[in-house]
Structure 1
Amino acid sequence: MELSLRREDFSTLAGWAQDRPAAAFAAFRRSAGFATTRKAYRTGSLGLSPPDFEPAYAAALAQTIPESGYLSDLEARAFFETWFRPVEVDSAGQAGFVTGYYEPEVEVSERAESGYRYPFLRKPENLVKVPNPQYPPAGVESGYAFMLDDAGRVTCCPDRQAIETGAFASQGLEIAWAKSPVDVFFAHVQGCARLCFPDGRIERITYAAKSGHPFTGIGGLLVKRGEISAETVSMASIRQWLASHPDKADSLMWENRSFIFFEKAEVESDDLGPVAAAKVPLEPGRSLAVDRLVHTFGTPIFVSAPDLQDFDEQRPFARLMIAQDTGTAIVGPARGDLFAGSGSEAGEKAGSIKAAARFVILAPAGSEIARRAGHEQ
């Protein structure tokens, strides 16, 4: 994909002065801690590398944090203006676009019993990553990211329908059992969930692996078939259709052959989201899922969407987000998924997000991207 870089300036970046980036700084600081003490993030095709981020990471970690856990918005804004330079990435005129996602809350039981029949599954032990999905081993189709490996004999993993009708039923993979297959399905789409047990206990699960089969959005299928209009399709309208057509619900969901396996996850605070692809807890309203082949995790990205209302205020969406997650449907430099938070209220926010957007990355000062855009001479 042909990319061009266009210089921006904080003083003229629409919405920058009105944003409240304290939570974005907190999210960035978590990524700084992981990348400097555990493992550097992989460099995306834009070319932002671990050395580019080192000065900003060091400055963020050296910052004294108040007891509240957050800097003031003024201090956070000054930090980003000091250590970064805004650059718009233009991908040959391709329009930017944002959707939303969240962490569902699902009522579950530890056992399969009356009312609880639909399991969340752990990853099978013999499900392994394909080293190169474009050139997989014999027995696995091109493009598949995962395969079953039985003593050197590799095969494609069963798809959603096969798994939900018992392909792994004898392996004891069940983490918990839900009341509704639709709740399980949407947790798969989101890649995470909070599991609410009858005794009041809450546990979290997050993405561990997938079947490798292609993801198919069932909302798009319903629009194509004239069941829901393109203008009204949303998470809520899809759920309503599934509830109104119980005889067709399973077959529709099975058309999305992709299946997600989970693992239990610990998070330092209930106010934060699950630990996602960047290996840090997501910050509600500030973490962004991106194409990890393009972007480097930890990159601050200013997203503006004039037709989308801000999460918390009566103004158009214009927020500094931090690249900390990814997703199958997130492809290209100007495509993102906004993390709205956890629970039903966050689900309502996330389900209605579908808007054209502009993406301005904050490139570390001194980086090659900042130089090429004309910031550094």
Structure 2
Amino acid sequence: MTECAYHPQILRARRACGLLLFMLLFLSPAVCDNGAVAASAPAASDIQNKAQPAMTPPVVTFEPMTFSDLAGWSEDDHLAAWKAFLASCKPVLRAGVRPAKHDSAGSPQALIDVCERAVAMSKAKSVRTRSEARQFFETNFRPHRISGGDAEGLLTGYYEPLIKGSRIPDKTYKVPIYRRPPDLVNVVAESERGAKSGSLTHQRKTAKGLEPYLTRADIEQGGLEGQGLELMYLKDPVDVFFMQVQGSGRIQLPSGEKVRVTYDGKNGHPYTSVGRVLIDEGQMTADEMSLKSLKKWLKTDKDRAKPVLWKNKSYVFFKELSGTEANAPMGVGCIPLQAGRSLAIDTTYYPIGTPIFVDAPKITHATKSGGFRRLMVAHDVGSAIKGTERGDIYFGSGDDAGRLAGVTKQPGHLYALLPIDGGAENSFFPDPKTASSGL
């Protein structure tokens, strides 16, 4: 990969991106639906999306608060939050695209201005302590609560899996994960896919025009063979499925080398929850369902698992990361995700790069003190991440992170930090009717 493209990565991916258990049971993925727009793919505006339109989101308002209103604000590690915010500023400034805002607003570039200030302060090394980082946020932002949207929020979690595989097929590793096909085009901007439930987000470009892409069943029965699209090989379709659920991951090769792959598009078909299918068919009760039991059920009898997996027509494509990009999993705009500080959100309401204070006291398994109250940054998106008070917490890489993500499904609230200079706090957030998410 020669340059860092603008992409939501539904580690998510995203996308699902690790709603993990919750997503597998009832929803569509978060990160598995995050991903890059290939340089050769036409822009979303160049292609008419003929799928059914998404429902109009509710009109919401953002009500100003004070930092003293945020429970746990003073106890947070603001320096860790500063580093997460700074990580998103570089892609925001590089993209040179203004955040979405109300049609009636002027043109204040509040977030970009704050990002420029943050980068300058970083170069001057003027933010080195928690107190200095806290002062930065309190000087440049004002917290807001959202009204008119969800009555109660929901927080879930995602992570980056580590799976064994090989670059070449052998008797152990024989099921491929595929690169993005050259005839795959985006019909919806990648950052907006989370708002397009039921729509075809990608299609196949043919001489006669656009048509639906191959389904999971088509692909797993050889629909892409002979095109040289095989990227890596895993043990079985179940491993491929769980890699796609997260939208990215690390693959440990037989030599011991670990390589990082990430989302690079999908076939465009809506995600169907495999866990929900098993429950509806009476194969398992909701109480019996867990990530562990789902994996066991799918792996115990692969012939039995195949038709169940095929009911999920969605299929994710990958690319291998190299250089500095391979150092960490990436979110929107190639923002390096940071465990416990990166949040996947609905860009209908929160532009990427927005600092968001999460108040979820019932998430007691993720912190030593109990409860989850901290400043995070909007780094990612996901198909299951819809609504004003909906967030997906990135927990990191590996099995420990997976265990945390797998049990995260608790209520909570999101409080947006809006830039205060230039009166931008009244114009920074998009009107859901006209929102165009992006950097």
Q: TM-score range by the shorter chain?
A: 0.7 to 0.9
Local SS of the residue matching 1:123:
coil
Q: Is residue 223 of structure 2 the alignment partner of residue 167 of structure 1?
A: yes
Q: Is the 8 A contact 2:98 2:109 kept in 1?
A: no
Q: Is the 8 A contact 1:27 1:287 kept in 2?
A: yes
Q: Deviations over 1:202-234 (max 9, x none)?
A: 211111111110012223333444545545644
Aligned mate of 2:329, from 274, 277, 301: 274
Which residue pairs with 2:120 in the alignment?
62
Distance 1:187 1:49 in 2: 41
Local SS of the residue matching 1:268:
helix
Work out the percentage of aligned pairs sharing the same amino acid.
Answer: 35
Which residue pairs with 2:265 in the alignment?
209
2:394 maps to amino acid: F
Deviates more, 1:300-309 or 1:70-79: 70-79
Distance 1:227 1:18 in 2: 46
Q: Is residue 192 of structure 2 the alignment partner of residue 144 of structure 1?
A: no
Aligned mate of 2:240, from 177, 184, 202: 184
Which residue pairs with 1:73 in the alignment?
130
Q: Is residue 389 of structure 2 the alignment partner of residue 334 of structure 1?
A: yes
- Closer, same or farther: CA 289–233 of 1 in aligned 2, 3 Å: farther
Q: Is the 8 A contact 2:250 2:261 kept in 1?
A: yes
- Closer, same or farther: CA 22–148 of 1 in aligned 2, 3 Å: same
Q: Is the 8 A contact 2:150 2:388 kept in 1?
A: no
Match runs of 1:5-16 below 5 Å: 5-16=62-73
Deviates more, 1:40-49 or 1:237-246: 40-49
Which residue pairs with 1:285 in the alignment?
340
RMSD: 2.9
Deviates more, 1:210-219 or 1:225-234: 225-234
Aligned mate of 1:316, from 348, 362, 371: 371
- Closer, same or farther: CA 92–299 of 1 in aligned 2, 3 Å: closer
Distance 1:94 1:24 in 2: 27
Which residue pairs with 1:123 in the alignment?
180
Q: Deviations over 1:154-205 (max 9, x none)?
A: 2110111111111111211111101132221111111101111111222111
1:331 maps to amino acid: K
TM-score by length of 2: 0.75
2:87 maps to amino acid: R
Distance 1:274 1:208 in 2: 13
Match runs of 1:226-305 below 5 Å: 226-230=282-286, 233-266=289-322, 268=324, 273-305=328-360
Q: Is the 8 A contact 1:21 1:320 kept in 2?
A: yes
2:360 maps to amino acid: A
Determine which structure has the larger strand proportion and give its number: 1
Local SS of the residue matching 2:91:
helix
Following TM superposition, by how much is the alpha carbon of 1:53 offset from its aligned partner in structure 2, in angstroms? 0.6
Structure 1 residue ranges, 4+ long, deviating more than 6 angstroms after superposition:
44-50
Following TM superposition, by how much is the alpha carbon of 1:267 offset from its aligned partner in structure 2, in angstroms? 6.1
Distance 1:242 1:55 in 2: 50
Q: Deviations over 1:311-350 (max 9, x none)?
A: 3423101121111111111112211111110111111111
Which residue pairs with 1:137 in the alignment?
none
1:94 maps to amino acid: A
Distance 2:415 2:201 in 1: 30
Q: Deviations over 1:89-111 (max 9, x none)?
A: 12344321111111111111111
1:187 maps to amino acid: M
1:252 maps to amino acid: V
Distance 2:245 2:417 in 1: 29
Distance 2:422 2:273 in 1: 37
Q: Is residue 110 of structure 2 the alignment partner of residue 25 of structure 1?
A: no
Distance 1:72 1:231 in 2: 46
Q: Is residue 413 of structure 2 the alignment partner of residue 355 of structure 1?
A: no
Unaligned runs of 5+ in 1: 134-141
Which residue pairs with 1:53 in the alignment?
111
1:184 maps to amino acid: V
Distance 1:310 1:9 in 2: 28
Q: Is the 8 A contact 2:108 2:422 kept in 1?
A: no
Unaligned runs of 5+ in 2: 1-57, 191-197, 429-439
Q: Is residue 159 of structure 2 the alignment partner of residue 106 of structure 1?
A: no
Determine which structure has greater relative contact order: mean sequence separation of CA pairs < 8 Å that are 6+ residues apart, divided by chain length: 2
Local SS of the residue matching 1:54:
helix
Local SS of the residue matching 1:308:
coil
Which residue pairs with 2:38 in the alignment?
none
Local SS of the residue matching 1:361:
strand
Q: Is the 8 A contact 2:64 2:143 kept in 1?
A: yes
Distance 2:425 2:294 in 1: 43
Q: Is the 8 A contact 2:216 2:313 kept in 1?
A: yes
- Closer, same or farther: CA 170–368 of 1 in aligned 2, 3 Å: farther
Q: Is the 8 A contact 1:110 1:175 kept in 2?
A: yes
Q: Is the 8 A contact 2:150 2:389 kept in 1?
A: no
1:62 maps to amino acid: A
The count of corresponding residues between Structure 1 and Structure 2 is 363
Distance 2:401 2:235 in 1: 21
Local SS of the residue matching 1:292:
coil
Deviates more, 1:276-285 or 1:317-326: 276-285
